[in-house]
Amino acid sequence: MGEATLYLSLAHNQGSTSYYDTIAMSPQVYGHERQFINVKTMPVDDVNLEIDIWKIDIEGAEIDAIDGASRHLEEFPPN
């Protein structure tokens, strides 16, 4: 379990990220005004479910997701 800051765009309804660098790379999505909230995080490995299909919209956090799912991916590799 952890915590992250989630930056929310006020300019675009699909603009949210926990990576400040992503905001700099996509200024048209995040605009000049944004809000932020603190959210709880947890690795996929802590979910304790066999997940067959993953649909993840994580805006640049792909490496973190894979790192947090290493045990799950080893036990249940993609087909």
Q: pTM of the prediction? A: 0.65
pLDDT band at 71 (very low <50, low <70, confident <90, very high): very high
Distance of alpha carbon 8 from alpha carbon 79, whole angstroms: 35
> What tens digit of pLDDT does each residue of 9-53 get?
888 777 788 888 888 888 888 778 788 999 998 998 998 788 778
Residue-level pLDDT at 3: 93
